[in-house]
A and B are shown apart, each in its own frame.
Chain A
């Protein structure tokens, strides 16, 4: 039973390890986040506005429920980093002149805070510093309110506000091309003419405060100062992304361990049934000596727990190891000053209890059967097994089958439940493999749809302020720009019935050739002259269909509120937005032909020159290059993907090895007499191997299409579970993923078979003939 216990150990270990890995990583990140939030005063509410006098602070403080208030100056700046010829932008934030922010305090990793009076000193965030190899004392340039300025780094910092740092509208974190700078309030205010004023507020609330009431009141107060809408933590991007990550970990902690535990329970069931069957006589003897059913039951339950023991110990150790590894991978993207690894006792206890309970549940039936037997009955050998002619033979192919093939078919049919569960087990292994490949496939597909079919621009230029449409001509005139199309983006809140969602309206050219909207069949959709088009997922969130009237509250300028017809829903995997004809949006805003920026198609030869140009153009606040964005996205994805693929492959191999090897060993033990008889009759080793391994091959062959179906279903479930307004994962599984999964299963089945084949070659013919089953 050594080999079988080993196989079960692997499966139990995988289940326990994944369970502990996911839960401990989630708990650790959660604890780390909460500790960091608490120790560094993460704000509860965030408000951006155009400009308000410092005196407004008192008024904000008096809003019922508000505890602490801190005003800040915030702006987006372009950076000019020597030796890095790609556009880089940053958000620059003020820190109070006393150097001690009340909220969102900085954890200084290296160096010191900036001198509040000096407008050439900044603290930068750690990811950004690491991406560029910056340390205190290093210098780079920034265009601050139109003025090119050399900045010196005084410190490297982390903030609870930017645990995950992402440029607004970006598809993934990009530490090279987006950073956070902190500068003294006095110096920054001077640069932006914000003396005695602010344009950014962060607040904390009392525990009993009602968030929606506070937000409404704050919006009310800052409205006439150009407020863009207050929002709570749950809409703060860094916090949101962390929450999404926790949600994924939580789902994963349920799905994968469940698969393993079920497989382990099944394997234990098979092994225990067999063990009990061969020990009928011992059981009978024990009972004849006066042991009762409970004693016998406990004896075997102990055996089950003993078998589980190694798996549990290794699983707990492996789970901690993997958990720390996964935590480290998260830490590359999510910046905490430290990671507090925590494994709650209850997680270990739960893992142990769940494993034992499901293992016992899996073996209960055979235990019960053993306990029920009368001693006298148990001492007699089991009657010969009953077989039938299988259905498959009856339908006509029977004549063509050799006897060994018949043996295979009839054995499979005689134990339909076990056969079914074996198939299910191998299929689960295959499905696990598919689910790991699925991410790669769907992300590639998502990128393709988003950037090859839909957003064809290779560069996006944003203006600091809404600008006249004439600026387009200036851009078009630049060397290297093949075409340019304007866009206008305004923040807005959409309401439908009792549901609302805050996002943006993107006004684009109705016959845009760079920025296409796609219908469900990925065909370009032309924008109607009036009416609004929503991302399909936004429509789902709001419960809106094409043809409904949507209430649109613009959160910029004169803040118009309009009822607008939803003319269509469009396919989009990243983010959620409303789209309008740019002219229609301009009309609603009552602003003439203003634009927020432009999409460009450029000549790659001139691209570097263009960045340089844009850095110097005062009205350009930022430039994004599509190619950089995609490359960065792939890099960030790749590392995490590699880890998950590695884990999934390992686990899938363990499952399929566990199932196939166990089936083979059980079959060998049940049929060694039969196989020996055939050897005596002159069958070769190869011929009897065919009977045993052919059966497993057949099961594997049947299991793989099932695995494809279960895998597809599992991926569908994962895709659905992960869908959020940030991104939707399309259910795309490439042929490559299917074939790789099938190959992994076949190889691990083949390896298990080889091990069993080795045993088969050493059957003791004489020994087997002497014994009666």
Chain B
């Protein structure tokens, strides 16, 4: 089993390589060790679910992978390029051209319509999709000119996904994408993510504390207390429609 895993990975490109990653926050006078030496790789085209309770360090890990935060020690490289010592400007550029983000609370711009929210990204990307196509992938062709206030939570999250993929990113980072949604709507959102991974081959990292979502992943990485406690490879992936919680 281990051999097979090694073999599969060796044939694929490494997107992220993380070594001995440590992050210490200073909260007032208390030091919080969010990450205590994490090691991992992320390969192109796979769906990875990071599973762990709150405070386990999964969001910190995702933020560092996404260039939103910097590590206290250790290293992160993206496609062989070191992110650990990247400047503010380099990180901005990295986020701009290579990473797509999906957040728990969607983070749409309330003053822009669904289409315009996608255009926010396509306007500055190097090799973007047509915004309408991105919205079609998440099934929102009918809602192009609606403002966030006119969309349901699930629809808003799908706009956020369309926005994230519209730059044709190498990797999609999703922080609790279904956290604010009911299960039915959550599944629709996960279906969109799965479809994108399948059709576009975008490496997708999903953070969640919902263990049921792990079923749709290629690999599941368990975090607790700032370290990676277990990595599990799913031999059979479930379709999001089969998930239940």
Contacts and interface: CB of A to CB of B under 8 A. Distances in A.
B85 interface: no
B68 A766 contact: yes
B63 A407 contact: no
Interface string B141-157: 00000011100000000
Contact of B116 (A403, A765, A772): A403
Interface string B104-147: 01011111110010011101100000000000000000000001
B198 interface: no
Interface string B11-28: 000000000000000000
Interface in B77-125: 89, 92-97, 99, 101, 103, 105, 107-113, 116, 119-121, 123-124
A680 B111 contact: no
Contacts of A769: 68, 103, 105, 107, 175
B212 interface: no
Contact of B124 (A673, A680, A682, A765): A682
A387 B103 CA distance: 22
B69 interface: yes
User: What class of interface size applies to chain A in its complex with B?
Assistant: 20 to 34
A90 to B, nearest CB: 75
Nearest to A407: B111
Interface in A655-705: 673-674, 677-685, 687
A385 interface: yes
Given A386-B147, A387-B147, A387-B149, A683 B124 contact: yes
Q: Chain A contact residues: over half helix, strand or loop, or mixed?
A: helix
Interface in A373-396: 383-389
Contacts of B175: 769
Interface in A384-428: 384-389, 402-403, 406-407, 410-411, 414
Contacts of B66: 680
Contacts of A414: 111
B163 interface: yes
Nearest to A679: B92
Interface in B49-94: 59, 63, 66, 68-69, 89, 92-94
Contacts of A386: 147, 149
B109 A684 contact: no
Contact of A677 (B99, B109, B123, B147): B109
A681 B112 CA distance: 15
A687 B120 CA distance: 11
Contacts of B149: 383-387
Given A681-B96, A769-B103, A384 B110 contact: yes
Contacts of A403: 109, 112, 116, 119-120, 123
Interface string A584-599: 0000000000000000
Contact of B109 (A388, A678, A682, A772): A678
B152 to A, nearest CB: 11
Given A384-B149, A386-B147, A387-B111, A772 B92 contact: no
User: What class of interface size applies to chain B in its complex with A?
Assistant: 20 to 34
Contacts of B147: 386-388
B111 A410 contact: yes
A384 B59 CA distance: 25
Contacts of A402: 123
A680 B110 contact: no
Contacts, number: 83
Nearest to A386: B149
Contacts of B95: 680-682
A761 to B, nearest CB: 9
A414 B68 CA distance: 31
Contacts of A673: 107
A765 B111 CA distance: 20
Given A386-B147, A403-B120, A406-B116, A682 B111 contact: no
Nearest to A402: B123
A685 B66 CA distance: 17
A681 B111 contact: no
A409 to B, nearest CB: 9
A381 B121 CA distance: 27
B112 A684 contact: no
Contacts of A680: 66, 68, 95, 101, 107
Contact of B69 (A406, A685, A766, A772): A766
A687 B89 CA distance: 13
Given A680-B95, A681-B163, A766-B69, A407 B112 contact: yes
Contacts of A765: 68-69
Given A387-B110, A769-B103, A681 B68 contact: no
Nearest to B151: A384
B176 to A, nearest CB: 10
A772 B59 CA distance: 16
Given A680-B95, A682-B96, A772-B105, A384 B123 contact: no
Give the residue among A402, A410, A673 with the most B Cβ atoms within 10 A: A410
Contacts of A411: 111
A687 B95 CA distance: 14
A406 B163 CA distance: 17
Contacts of B148: 384
A678 B110 contact: no
B68 to A, nearest CB: 5
A387 B112 CA distance: 8
Contacts of B94: 682
Nearest to B122: A403
A523 to B, nearest CB: 58
A402 B93 CA distance: 19
A681 B96 CA distance: 6
Nearest to B120: A403
A383 to B, nearest CB: 7
Contacts of A772: 105
Nearest to B63: A766
Interface string B226-245: 00000000000000000000
A255 B41 CA distance: 71
B123 A682 contact: no
Contacts of A410: 111-112
Contacts of B96: 681-683
A687 B93 CA distance: 13
B189 to A, nearest CB: 17
A553 to B, nearest CB: 75
Contacts of A684: 89, 92
Interface in A73-127: none
A415 to B, nearest CB: 11
Contacts of A683: 92, 96, 124
Interface in A401-459: 402-403, 406-407, 410-411, 414
A406 B68 contact: no
B68 A678 contact: no
Nearest to B64: A766
A636 B147 CA distance: 63
Contacts of B124: 682-683, 687
A683 B109 CA distance: 13
Contacts of A388: 147
B63 A678 contact: no
A53 to B, nearest CB: 92
Give the residue among B109, B113, B121, B148 with the most A Cβ atoms within 10 A: B109
Given A385-B149, A681-B96, A769-B103, 6 more contacts: A385-B110, A407-B111, A674-B110, A678-B120, A679-B92, A682-B95
18 contacts: A384-B148, A386-B149, A387-B112, A388-B147, A389-B113, A403-B119, A406-B111, A406-B116, A407-B112, A410-B112, A674-B109, A681-B120, A682-B95, A682-B121, A683-B124, A765-B69, A769-B103, A770-B59
Interface of A: 383-389, 402-403, 406-407, 410-411, 414, 673-674, 677-685, 687, 765-766, 769-770, 772
The 7 closest A-B pairs by CB, nearest first: A682-B96, A410-B111, A677-B107, A682-B95, A387-B111, A384-B149, A403-B120
Interface of B: 59, 63, 66, 68-69, 89, 92-97, 99, 101, 103, 105, 107-113, 116, 119-121, 123-124, 147-149, 163, 175
